[in-house]
A and B are shown apart, each in its own frame.
Chain A
Amino acid sequence: MAPPSAAVAVALLVGGILLLFAGYSPLKAYAVMWTGAFGSLNNLAETLLKSTPLILIGSGLAVAFRSGIWNIGAEGQLYAGAVAATLAGIVFTGLPAFLLVPLVLMAGMLSGAIWGGLAGFLKVRFGASEIVTTIMLNFLAIIATSYLVTGPMIEAVGKFPQTAQIADAARLPRILLPTRLHVGFLLSLGVAVATYLLLFKSSRGYALRTVGISPDAARYAGINVGAGLLAAMAISGGVAGLAGAVEVTGLTFRLYQEISPGYGFDGIAVALLANNNPIGVIFTGILFGALRSGSEVMQMNAQVPSVLVSVIQGVVLLSAAALGVFRITQTNNQEE
């Protein structure tokens, strides 16, 4: 975990210099940001709420990246999951919670898995670059969602571009009243642990990691490389879809345009910064969640534009990448 924390330190330093140039006191801004993220029970809850989709998506992407497939489409897969979950939550109103909640979450997961699996299929069958197809599928999912909430799925009143609320029984229980923190956060921790076990403790994960490191060695070992890539894509898409379902059932209770402020893209950073280890993703997910929620407060209370926080996030990533490269060259030099 040394490189991530070093990266954060470097980023805060660079961000501080930027703040200084922009005419703000860095110390004050950071103090406000810290309070904003962790200063009260409610602020902490908001941070964890924002971390929830990041941890989910980051865990899924860790699986994809370890398997050597570059899923840039978590954002679209999140939307695909959110659409399916909303649909299920609106249609199956008669079911009791203990059936409906799992059903809604499964619908989101399945939808995301299909959306991700589509890119995996195109890769395996036609050799289409998953980077290109997942980015295109992002646009498709986001625009389709806009269409759905302005047309076919618009609420009965029809005033705003949003769907009707999902059934009460489909909503995730809250766990830290009076805050909005819901059981989805615990679910994200569970998913992180499960993906960790999958990747590093199971024989399937062994096969996936082999595929990711060396397709030739994987074939030699009798592993079906195409199936591995497809599975990795479906798993990461499924988890991103679950994140969409969790947003709908835990927080928004309905679908509208731009339901995600870019969690799918931040999730890439979250996974990479954690060196694609789902346990590490828990921490980097909370870090990015804190940056997000802290920045909102910083903007309100210190009048620092939250764009600067995006800059800090960017610098965190760049320094993590730089330190990663540094570490790789170090180990390479040590080989005889």
Chain B
Amino acid sequence: MSETILKLDKIVKTFPGTVANRGISLEIRKGEIHCLLGENGAGKTVLMSIVYGLHQADSGHIFYQGEPIDLRSPKDAIKRGIGMVHQHFMLVPNLTVAENIILGQYPPWKVLRRMDQVERRIEKLSQKFGLKIDPKAPVHRLSVGEQQRVEILKALYHGVDLLILDEPTAVLTPQESSGLLRFLKEMAGHGLTVIFITHKLDEVMQVSDRVTVLRDGRKVETVDTSEANPRILAKLMVGREVFLEQPSKKGTQGEEVLSVRDLSVDDERRLPAVKGVTFSVRSGEIVGIAGVSGNGQSELALALAGLSPTAEGEIEFCGEVAHNISPRKLSRLGFAHVPEDRHKMGIVLPFTVAENCILHDFDNHPYARNGFLQSKTITAHANDLAQRYDVRLSGVEQRIGELSGGNQQKIVMARELHRRPRLLLVNEPTRGIDIGATEFVRRQIAAQRDAGAAVLLISSDLEELFALSDRLLIFFEGRIVGETPARKELIEEIGLMMAGKSMESFSAEK
């Protein structure tokens, strides 16, 4: 257990404009699960990309199993038994599982001739490790959780001894996450060494043997998990006391702002996704929508936001009919929307921060005059938002793609809240962002409620729903199967409803 498998010595890595790693030294023991904890931008991923050969360190040394190694590319790393599963999967959607796993092996004509052998070996591996997967299935048909299994299998297929996982649970449901954590523990029992990049404290506590906290490109400390607790870790990570408890719930509820009646919405493939839901949201309350993702929440959000047509039913917003009207008109009525997919919808990645701040107002006074953008006003506006919402950036002319996820989300929040909405629709507001930003975003949402806005919160994070919502609607297969107060004590019932048990069945049992 005490044998060192990987040793990093004073790793320094700079990118133009930023220092990602400022001399990090670290030892990983064979067979341990070692968590790398830190906020986004702390340098975790960069450090591990260096170990995986994706980046080369400016200075410092890497020792693997006692010898100094020099990794020029991931190929070198894989040869030595180091594998990495990225946050964004690196799979080819229209190839099969087996084809993805052997991708990059040479010579291809030889490998491809032995496909059935490869498939059999994958099957054996997947049985051995309990990672159920069909090697012949095309990857685009797999769920996100299954795709992750393919990534892990890929590493195991190449016989890795050290597996690096970059925020693996960010894309998983609670059930899938706990399954993954269990699997990792088992693998570590078999002698696999796991480095687990995360910023979720509960995961660290659950899974790791030791944890190293990084902050601003420096190592803060390595501690045994058994001697740590979430409060200590959060403090090490953020550098100050963090209030893990959420703001109190004290909204004064007013009139009905949003009312939805018998709403049905089809998805992109024109299959019914939302099937006749009825609910309303009052000013001064946060209504949470719980459910395993993919049960119609996304389609509901798009329909409410005027981004996809409704099939049936009515939406009323501040007394006006609001189904199938344009996003622009909705926005004028006081509707603000923080979309689920930040990169695809919420921001324009290659644009600057300043350009992103005027996404809804690019042709409105004072940002445009006579058809021309007023760069001074736009810059001043962006600076103002960045300052008020505590966005860390080198300047508003920076491309927003260069910011961390948390800072990107703060820009989105700033842009949407700045308009003082009467109805705020937030969809997965803290997915994939760090603890500091999460805390900030949640406070902002609560503050909107306190200021009298009606808030509809869609989240797959139950903790978040409990922390913020006044009441919960539970979605299953496009229907609302239950409504409960947002109280943690009800988690069991809510969990069952998320799996499809209706509220009536509870009362029937009683």
- Which residues of the other chain, B, contact A310 by a CB distance below 8 angstroms? none
A334 touches B339 (CB 8 A): no
**At the interface, yes or no: B360 with Cβ under 8 Å from chain A?**
yes
**At the interface, yes or no: A122 with Cβ under 8 Å from chain B?**
no
Which residues from 187 to 246 on chain A have a C-beta closer than 8 Å to any C-beta of chain B? 197, 201-204, 206-207, 209-210, 213-214, 216-217, 219-222
Give the contacting residue for A210; candidates B15, B40, B341, B348; CB below 8 A: B348
- Which residues of the other chain, B, contact A207 by a CB distance below 8 angstroms? 362-363
A335 touches B344 (CB 8 A): no
Which residues from 72 to 120 on chain A have a C-beta closer than 8 Å to any C-beta of chain B? none
B371 touches A203 (CB 8 A): yes
Give the contacting residue for B46; candidates A197, A221, A336; CB below 8 A: A336
| A222 to B326 CA separation, bound complex (whole angstroms) | 7
**At the interface, yes or no: A333 with Cβ under 8 Å from chain B?**
yes
B351 touches A213 (CB 8 A): yes
Give the contacting residue for B373; candidates A201, A214, A220; CB below 8 A: A201
**At the interface, yes or no: B368 with Cβ under 8 Å from chain A?**
yes
A336 touches B20 (CB 8 A): yes
**At the interface, yes or no: B276 with Cβ under 8 Å from chain A?**
no
B305 touches A206 (CB 8 A): no
- The smallest beta-carbon distance between A44 and chain B, in angstroms, is 35
- The smallest beta-carbon distance between B384 and chain A, in angstroms, is 20
B373 touches A202 (CB 8 A): yes
- The smallest beta-carbon distance between B23 and chain A, in angstroms, is 18
| A214 to B341 CA separation, bound complex (whole angstroms) | 12
| A217 to B344 CA separation, bound complex (whole angstroms) | 6
| A209 to B349 CA separation, bound complex (whole angstroms) | 12
- Which residues of the other chain, A, contact B327 by a CB distance below 8 angstroms? 219-222
Give the contacting residue for B344; candidates A202, A203, A216, A334; CB below 8 A: A216
**At the interface, yes or no: B372 with Cβ under 8 Å from chain A?**
yes
- Which residues of the other chain, B, contact A209 by a CB distance below 8 angstroms? 351
- Which residues of the other chain, A, contact B277 by a CB distance below 8 angstroms? none
- The smallest beta-carbon distance between A335 and chain B, in angstroms, is 7
Count B-side interface residues using an 8 Å CB cutoff. 41
**At the interface, yes or no: B55 with Cβ under 8 Å from chain A?**
yes
- The smallest beta-carbon distance between B57 and chain A, in angstroms, is 14
| Interface footprint category on A | 20 to 34
| A217 to B20 CA separation, bound complex (whole angstroms) | 30
**At the interface, yes or no: B331 with Cβ under 8 Å from chain A?**
yes
- Known contacts A206-B355, A206-B362, A214-B348; is A220 also within 8 Å of B372 by CB? no
- Known contacts A201-B373, A220-B339, A222-B328; is A214 also within 8 Å of B363 by CB? no
B344 touches A336 (CB 8 A): no
- Known contacts A213-B349, A336-B404; is A221 also within 8 Å of B45 by CB? no
B372 touches A202 (CB 8 A): yes
- The smallest beta-carbon distance between A142 and chain B, in angstroms, is 36
- Which residues of the other chain, A, contact B55 by a CB distance below 8 angstroms? 333
| A219 to B309 CA separation, bound complex (whole angstroms) | 13
Give the contacting residue for A219; candidates B307, B331, B351, B367; CB below 8 A: B307
Give the contacting residue for B345; candidates A202, A204, A216; CB below 8 A: A216
- Which residues of the other chain, B, contact A333 by a CB distance below 8 angstroms? 54-55
Residue in chain B with minimal CB distance to A221: B359
- The smallest beta-carbon distance between A209 and chain B, in angstroms, is 8
In order of increasing CB-CB distance, the 5 nearest A-B pairs are: A222-B328, A203-B363, A203-B368, A221-B359, A216-B345
- Tell me the A residues contacting B by CB distance below 8 Å: 197, 201-204, 206-207, 209-210, 213-214, 216-217, 219-222, 333-336
- Tell me the B residues contacting A by CB distance below 8 Å: 15-16, 20, 40-41, 43, 45-46, 54-55, 305, 307, 326-328, 331, 337, 339, 341, 344-351, 355, 358-360, 362-363, 367-368, 371-373, 401-402, 404
What are 19 A-to-B residue pairs whose CB atoms are below 8 Å? A203-B362, A203-B367, A204-B371, A206-B362, A206-B373, A207-B362, A209-B351, A213-B349, A213-B351, A214-B344, A220-B307, A220-B337, A221-B327, A222-B327, A222-B331, A222-B360, A333-B55, A334-B16, A335-B401
Extra A-B contacts (10), CB below 8 Å, given A204-B371, A206-B363, A221-B360: A202-B372, A206-B358, A210-B359, A213-B351, A222-B328, A334-B15, A334-B16, A334-B402, A336-B40, A336-B41
